[in-house]
Structure 1
Amino acid sequence: MLKYFLFIAALFMASMVGAQNAPTPKETKELRTITDTLRIFTSKKLRVTPITYQKEVTLKIDTLSFMAVGDIMMGTDFPDASYLPEKGAYPFQKVDSVFRKTDILFGNLEGTLTDEGENAKHCKDPKKCYSFRSPEYLGSHLQRAGFDVMSIANNHIGDFGDVGISNTISTLDSLGIANAGVYDKTFTTFTKDSIKYGFCAFAPNTDTPKIQNYKKAIARVKMLKDSCDIVIVSFHGGAEGTDHLNVTRKTEKFYGEDRGNVYEFAHKMIDAGADIIFGHGPHITRAVEVYKNRFIAYSLGNFCTYKRFNLNGVKGYAPIVEVRTTKDGIFLEGKVHSAKQLDGVYPFMDKKEGALSEIKRLTAMDFPETGLIFTEDGYFRLPN
């Protein structure tokens, strides 16, 4: 009987040596233990029980992580330089460490990056004219923060005419930040870590691809899906302010302007092949939803808006929404990092977790059917 076990052990060790992968140090140690045990058994002529060897296997799922923030306007020299920050101030100093934890970082550039251009709005009093001309040097802060892609589809991209639009695009391009959202640049693609991303952005405004034109939007998303691994869609839409916190699932109007049906738009984009959708525009935080295993943020609110913005109450919430997906875009889990703003103060982390509380509350109200589960530390996921 002992000769039988020695024969089996010899076959086992031979199979390990002949395997395609050489034994690990742990496996080698276990083989020596088996051999030593059999030697003891041989010398003492003991009865033994056959040993089953099982190699531990660790499975790794490849995932992607995204972070998204809302409106960014780091300072403007219009109507005068008093609305600019102190030279050398880094707008993302107090949130930078959070940004470093993601694969893709997204934001909405609320305004222009240009050193030239005349105000395109006809205002009697410049100080009551909300046009944003951020000097081009401020763009370097976006690069330093690690932004990969930015939407320029909003109601302020045309504040300084065609030159403002073209200078904004060329500034972002020179910094290696993908961007899209005007008629001259309706979409873009970029590759990072061997993943090809497609990005397009929409708004209800004059210079932008229209959020209401579903036919063209669907065609654009399908085109990107055919050539990219992941498709990101951004929209600037929905009525503004604290009277419009909820996603109505209807066409929203503000000051007589059609701001789109953001619910219908988001769902149609996912039906067309979009993998993740980031909304902004209402200047407040709104609910999030998971539809067909794809993530939608309906409004990321204000994030880094220096002066010229009303940041009272919930308007000062500045969420950093983190989403983890498979490499096919399927939602796995998310997390809300709560930041906050004050007038004339760049974003900082909010210990009271105001943004998290607001997103959790509104999501339960607007999308109870989704059943998203939020934890106290900011994570959210679908029910098992």
Structure 2
Amino acid sequence: MHKILLTILLFCFSFTIHAQKYSAKEIDSMVIIANTTKLALEKLAIPESIKLMAVGDIMMATNFPNASYMPAEGTNPFEKVEGVLKEADILFGNVEGTLTDEGKNAKHCSDPSKCYSFRSPESYGQYLESTGFDVMSIANNHIGDFGSIGIKNTAKTLEKHNIAYAGIFAQESTIFEKNGITYGFCAFAPNKDCVKIHNLTNAKRIVEELKEKVDIIIVSFHGGAEGSDHTHVTRKTERFYGEDRGNVYLFAHTLIDAGADIILGHGPHVSRAFEVYNNKFIAYSLGNFCTYSRFNLSGIKGYAPIAEIDIDLEGNFIKGKLHSAKQIDEIYPFMDDQKRALKEIQKLTQEDFPESNLVFKEDGTFIQNKEN
């Protein structure tokens, strides 16, 4: 390919110097040849498949209610897992909180120590960029923790670090390009500051509009009931603390029918099953991933799966690999030799979606057995 490119460059250089020797018709022919060759080269540069990696909730640190919840200065939250994450063509995560140096707590709490509002310094955006995050959801119940200025600064910080984002009213979707492929991304949640997971008509509209403009559509949702008692996908509307957390099964299937290529869920703070529906991949919850403090990480809530999904250029599922990481309170994620996230998601997938026929191997790879 490099030899072809060199030949084209030499041709263009020669054409520029000697253009006066040719007739207008000959010059037009040469321009057509050059443009055709350029397009062919661009096509050659596009990969045959895409390796997308996705993780769940990310709250790298919080200085609210005080600095005691901050790690040692200069600590890279992803240091122990970035070797895996950097293998992704596209890397996704959910910003569970805000990235802001301004703003007052927007929640009404009589005791700030029991008020779960998350404010990561804007400087922490550098870790997201250096690890390779391409796109992130900001649709969740913590994006409004520090009011409108917190939302604005979170968006500004992600933009500064060249990370695409969506999920708030000011940006319900986004389009970005990488390696010759154009991606559309949208995100949804049941919460007041976010594009609503309940409004399927609006969600379908967003996906259908993206479909006309992009090659691959990625959808994220923050939904489902929380905690160790809610690991299963019920296929019904889920409620938690009296709040409608959405019917995530209906939501995912509806948006794939509308044109989405991959659905990435988070919100329950535990891992949930995988599904392949109409050749499209769904992760119903990727749990906690990098939540430094103020999160309950006991038992399965400390599992931190990394979903690696290979799709073709039509967005169809090819194969996957589940990398098992783990968290302990105030210890950033690290790879788990016991592969607890893999075992949990394998079990839940077999129980909740046996019709997907996903077959997991001990090393975490999985494929769809289409013979059954």
The answer to whether 1:115 aligns with 2:73 is no
The answer to whether 1:383 aligns with 2:369 is yes
The answer to whether 1:362 aligns with 2:348 is yes
Cα displacement string for residues 46-95 of structure 1 (whole angstroms, at most 9, x for unaligned residues): xxxxxxxxxxxxxx981111000000000001000011111100000000
The answer to whether 1:313 aligns with 2:322 is no
Q: What is the CA–CA distance in structure 1 between the aligned matches of 2:263 and 2:73, rounded to whole Å?
A: 34
1:334 is aligned to 320
1:346 is aligned to 332
2:216 is aligned to 230
Percent identity over the alignment is 64
> Which of 69, 76, 80 is the aligned partner of 1:94?
80
Cα displacement string for residues 237-261 of structure 1 (whole angstroms, at most 9, x for unaligned residues): 0000011010000000000000000
Q: What is the CA–CA distance in structure 1 between the aligned matches of 2:145 and 2:216, rounded to whole Å?
A: 31
Partner AA of 1:69 in structure 2: V
1:212 is aligned to 198
Q: What is the CA–CA distance in structure 1 between the aligned matches of 2:154 and 2:48, rounded to whole Å?
A: 35
1:371 is aligned to 357
1:246 is aligned to 232
Cα displacement string for residues 144-176 of structure 1 (whole angstroms, at most 9, x for unaligned residues): 100000000000000000000000000100100
The answer to whether 1:103 aligns with 2:99 is no
> Which of 273, 277, 281 is the aligned partner of 1:291?
277
Q: What is the CA–CA distance in structure 2 between the aligned matches of 1:112 and 1:92, rounded to whole Å?
A: 18
Q: CA deviation at 1:101?
A: 1.2
Q: What is the CA–CA distance in structure 2 between the aligned matches of 1:61 and 1:217, rounded to whole Å?
A: 29
The answer to whether 1:221 aligns with 2:207 is yes
Q: What is the CA–CA distance in structure 2 between the aligned matches of 1:100 and 1:81, rounded to whole Å?
A: 30
Does the aligned pair in 1 maintain the 2:47–2:179 contact within 8 Å? no
Give TM-score, length-normalised by structure 1.
0.84
Q: Which aligned pairs between 1:23-102 and structure 2 lie closer than 5 A?
A: 62-102=48-88
1:22 is aligned to none
Partner AA of 2:241 in structure 1: Y
Partner AA of 1:243 in structure 2: D
Does the aligned pair in 1 maintain the 2:96–2:143 contact within 8 Å? yes
Structure 2 unaligned regions, length at least 5: 1-45
Does the aligned pair in 1 maintain the 2:97–2:117 contact within 8 Å? yes
What SS does the corresponding residue of 1:97 show, helix, strand or coil?
A: helix
What SS does the corresponding residue of 1:333 show, helix, strand or coil?
A: strand
> Which of 303, 309, 315 is the aligned partner of 1:323?
309
TM-align CA RMSD: 0.9
1:48 is aligned to none
What SS does the corresponding residue of 1:209 show, helix, strand or coil?
A: coil
Cα displacement string for residues 282-324 of structure 1 (whole angstroms, at most 9, x for unaligned residues): 0000000000000000000000001100000000000000000
Q: What is the CA–CA distance in structure 2 between the aligned matches of 1:76 and 1:181, rounded to whole Å?
A: 22
Q: What is the CA–CA distance in structure 2 between the aligned matches of 1:114 and 1:378, rounded to whole Å?
A: 37
Q: CA deviation at 1:352?
A: 0.1
Partner AA of 1:206 in structure 2: K
What SS does the corresponding residue of 1:242 show, helix, strand or coil?
A: coil
Partner AA of 2:127 in structure 1: H
What SS does the corresponding residue of 2:75 show, helix, strand or coil?
A: coil
1:179 is aligned to 165
Partner AA of 1:364 in structure 2: Q
Give TM-score, length-normalised by structure 2.
0.87
Does the aligned pair in 1 maintain the 2:322–2:365 contact within 8 Å? yes
Q: What is the CA–CA distance in structure 1 between the aligned matches of 2:187 and 2:176, rounded to whole Å?
A: 15
The answer to whether 1:142 aligns with 2:128 is yes
- Bigger radius of gyration among the two: 1
1:29 is aligned to none
Structure 1 unaligned regions, length at least 5: 1-59
> Which of 250, 256, 266 is the aligned partner of 1:264?
250
2:110 is aligned to 124
